[in-house]
Every structure is written in C-alpha cells, then in structure tokens.
Amino acid sequence: MDGSKTVPHPAGGPVETESPIALLREIADGSGGLVQLRPGLSDARMDAWAAPVPEEIRVLLRAVGGVRIAFGRRKDDDAFLFSEIDFDASLNEGTHPMGGDGSWYVEQAGGQGTHRLVHLDSAGGFTYVDVDRETGAWGPVFIFWDDNDTTRLDSSLHAWLHRTARCLREALADADGNPHAFDSAFTETWREPHRDAPQVPTIPAAEARMSPDPVIRSVAAALPDDGSLADLREVAGAAVVIFDFPEPCRFGRAHGGTVLTAIPADPDEDY
C-alpha cells in the first residue's frame, strides 16, 4: 500500500497516511545501508499497548516499525552503528534501552497510555508522540530532557516523519556514503527545531482557572494548585516550553495535545 491516501487527523485537516511509507522506503533503498527500516509491527503487538491504536497509525506501523540511522562504524568489523527511531521501544514498557529501569521517563511524559516514546538521542533527549488514552488518537510530537524544558517538534507523527525523511534525503546527497558526514549533515538539519523554536509562556493553574477561554479553564481545573500549562493551539511549528519549577516535573497534554501541562514531581523519586 504505497499509494497516497488522505485520512482525517485529530488536529484538523487531512494527513497523507501512506506517503511517509513510500518516501522512507525510497530513501532506505537508495542509502547504501546508511538508512534502514525496522520491520513493521503486527496488529497483535499494537493491541497489547496501553491505549487503542487508530487505523491511520496502524497502516503506518504495519509497514514501518522504525528507522535506523547510521552515525559511524564499529572498529572491530566496520559495520554501521545506528541510532534508532523505534515505534516499539522497550522504554514504553519501562525498560531503558541502555539497561535498567526506565519507568521514571514513562511517568515524566505522562504515564502509560498517554504517549508513545519513539526515540532516545545521544544528548539524553526523549522524543514521544502524544496519545489520547481514551480514544487512542495520536497527536503532536514532543521531546523532553531530564529537566523542565520541552519542545513540541511537530504537529503529528506523519509530519515529523516527513521532515525526518527530507533531512535524511538531504544528508545522503551530501555524504557520498560516508557515515560520519551523513550523521553530521542529518543531525544539523534534524535538530533545527530544538534550537530555533520560539518559547511559549506558561500559565500557573490558579491563574488559568480564571481564564476567559473555556479550554484553558477546563484543563486548569484538572491540575493541582502547583501545576501549570502552556497553550500551543496557535503555534504552527515547533515551540519551546520551560516550566519554572524548583524540581523536575511530569508532563501531560490535553485538548488533542495542543495544551501542554506540568506538575512538580515528587522530589524523593529516583530518576
């Protein structure tokens, strides 16, 4: 199923579901091994996740289970070393890919069933997709670190994959098969939203409960007094949000992932 088809997207407007599949396959096939696709996921596997998976996401993940992106070579056999976008990353079940317990990161992103962690980068950034636990709708893509700053990278998984694919194609054209040159070119463009995004102000929950905006009032009503939120509804691209808490926070999303929330985490928690 490589033909283009449009489906409704919860954030509004159509999304081409199959086009990222064809694009990523074309890039991987012409990459000389620098880009590899992980096998697609079965419906049985997706059925085991904490929230229902909508059909437009299943179509994508049945075909592509992730993307392996070369960044260098091993010294012993000269094989490529890869960073990975993995839609079935073990971190979602609380196991850190480097070994040990990763449940703190699952909770920091909102808890089981409210998101899907898809990438852990070398700088300690955790990229995840917002998930509505009740409906299963997948929303915007975010990245967080071990602190109270986060960036919304894109409006949807499909949009994020389209941008990723464009960055991969440009990097391959510049790299001439060299994994180090490829990694440098890819990383430079792929991380632009981290560096260049505008900062969106946060609103304390107590203040937000008095907002004339019914969405903001509704979201704030579900937060504790020391919580806070950021309204991303009018932000078209990437956006940085920094919550002013003295300790690490736990993130959440509401209104289709367009309102970001945070509450201070228990300072006695291990992380």
- Residue 51 and residue 131 in contact, taking contact as beta carbons nearer than 8 Å: yes
Number of neighbouring beta carbons within 10 Å of residue 85: 21
Rounded to whole angstroms, the Cα distance separating 260 from 253 reads 5
- Residue 16 and residue 78 in contact, taking contact as beta carbons nearer than 8 Å: no
Query: The pTM is what?
Result: 0.89
**What pLDDT, on the 0 to 100 scale, is given for residue 75?**
84
**What pLDDT, on the 0 to 100 scale, is given for residue 270?**
55
List domains and CATH numbers for the chain. Answer: 6-196 (3.40.1580.10), 197-266 (no CATH)
**What pLDDT, on the 0 to 100 scale, is given for residue 21?**
93
Low-confidence ranges of the chain (pLDDT < 70): 1-18, 267-271
pLDDT tens for 114-129 read: 999 999 987 789 999 9
| Dihedral over Cα of 96, 98, 101, 102: its sign | negative
- Sequence-distant contacts of 55-59: CB under 8 A, at least 24 apart: 55/7, 56/7, 56/8, 56/9, 56/15, 56/17, 57/136, 57/138, 57/157, 59/1, 59/17, 59/18, 59/21
Rounded to whole angstroms, the Cα distance separating 271 from 266 reads 11
**What pLDDT, on the 0 to 100 scale, is given for residue 1?**
37
- Residue 40 and residue 62 in contact, taking contact as beta carbons nearer than 8 Å: yes
**What pLDDT, on the 0 to 100 scale, is given for residue 74?**
85
**What pLDDT, on the 0 to 100 scale, is given for residue 211?**
97
Summary count for the chain: helices (H), strands (E): 9, 14
Cα distances from 88 to residues 43, 93, 117, in angstroms, run: 12, 9, 8
